[in-house]
Amino acid sequence: MVKAIVGANWGDEGKGKVTDMLAQQSDVVIRFQGGANAGHTIINDYGRFALHTLPSGVFYPHVTNVIGNGVALDIAKLADELEQIEAQGVPEPRLIVSDRAQLLMPYHILQDTYEEARLGGRAFGSTKSGIAPFYSDKYAKTGIQVCDLFDEPRLRERLVAAVELKNVLFEHLYHQPKVSADEIMDQLLALRERIRPWVGDTVSFVHRALKEGKTILLEGQLGSMKDPDLGIFPMTTSSHTLAGYGCVGASVPPTAVADVICVTKAYSSCVGSNTEPFVSEVTGEAGDELRRRGGDHGEFGATTGRPRRVGWFDAVATKYGCMVQGATQVALTCLDVLGYLDEIPVCTGYEIDGTVTDSFPTTPALLRARPVFTTLPGWRCDVRGCRDYDALPANAKAYVDFLEAHIGAPITMVSTGPKREEITYRTPKL
Ligand code: GDP
Over residues 2-17, the pLDDT tens digits come to 999 999 999 999 998 8
The domain spans of the chain are 2-98+199-261, 102-195, 264-425
| CATH numeric code, 264-425 | 3.90.170.10
- The DSSP call for residue 413 is E
Task: Give DSSP secondary structure letters for 117-181.
Answer: HHHGGG-----SSSHHHHHHHHHTT---BGGGGG-HHHHHHHHHHHHHHHHHIIIIIS--PPP-H
Which residues surround ligand 1 with Cβ inside 6 Å?
7, 11-17, 38-41, 43, 295-296, 302, 333-334, 336-337, 415-418
Nearest to 205 by CA among 78, 20, 59, 67: 67
Topology agreement, domain 102-195 and domain 264-425: no
- From 6, 9, 12, 20, the mutation candidate for ligand 1 (largest count of ligand atoms within 8 A of CB) is 12
Share of the chain above pLDDT 70, in %: 99
Q: How far apart are CA 261 and CA 263, in angstroms?
A: 6
Dist CA 427 CA 403 (whole Å): 14
The closest residue, in CA terms, to atom 11 on ligand 1 is 295
Fold of 102-195: Adenylosuccinate Synthetase, subunit A; domain 2 (1.10.300)
**What is the rounded radius of gyration, in angstroms, for the C-alpha atoms of the chain?**
22
Residue 43: CB atoms within 10 Å: 17
Secondary structure (DSSP) of 76-98: HHHHHHHHHHHHTTPPPPEEEEE
Q: Measuring from atom 18 of ligand 1, which residue has the nearest CA?
A: 418
- Is the bond into 234 cis (omega within 30 degrees of 0)? yes
Q: Which of 12, 20, 137, 227 is the catalytic position?
A: 12
Closest CA to 399 of 265, 266, 295, 268: 266
pLDDT of residue 384: 97
- Using the mean position of ligand 1's atoms as its centre, give its distance from the Cα of residue 1 in Å: 26
For the stretch 325-367, pLDDT in tens is 999 999 999 999 999 999 999 999 999 999 999 999 999 999 9
Distance between Cα 149 and ligand 1 center (Å): 36
For ligand 1, the distance from its centroid to the CA atom of residue 143, given in whole angstroms, is 33
Residues of the chain with pLDDT under 50: none
Which of 265, 334, 424 has most ligand 1 atoms within 8 Å of CB, for mutation?
A: 334
> How far is C-alpha 273 from the chain's CA centre?
16
Amino acid found at 370: R
pLDDT at 302 (0 to 100): 66
Q: Determine how β-strand 94-98 pairs with β-strand 411-415.
A: unpaired
65 CA to middle of ligand 1, Å?
21
Q: Is 80 a catalytic residue?
A: no
Q: Which fold has domain 2-98+199-261?
A: Adenylosuccinate Synthetase; Chain A, domain 1 (3.40.440)
pLDDT of residue 297: 83
Q: How far is the CA of 273 from the centre of ligand 1 (A)?
A: 20
Q: Residues 20, 40, 240, 259: which is the catalytic one?
A: 40
Question: Can you list the alpha helix ranges (DSSP code H) found in 169-314?
Answer: 181-195, 202-211, 246-249, 284-293
How crowded is residue 157: how many other Cβ atoms within 10 Å of its Cβ?
13
CB 407, CB 370: distance < 8 Å: no
pLDDT of amino acid 30: 97
Q: From 32, 48, 47, 41, select the one nearest 11 (Cα to Cα).
A: 41
Handedness of CA 298, 301, 304, 310 (dihedral sign): negative
- Rounded to the nearest integer, the mean pLDDT of the chain is 95
108 an active-site residue? no
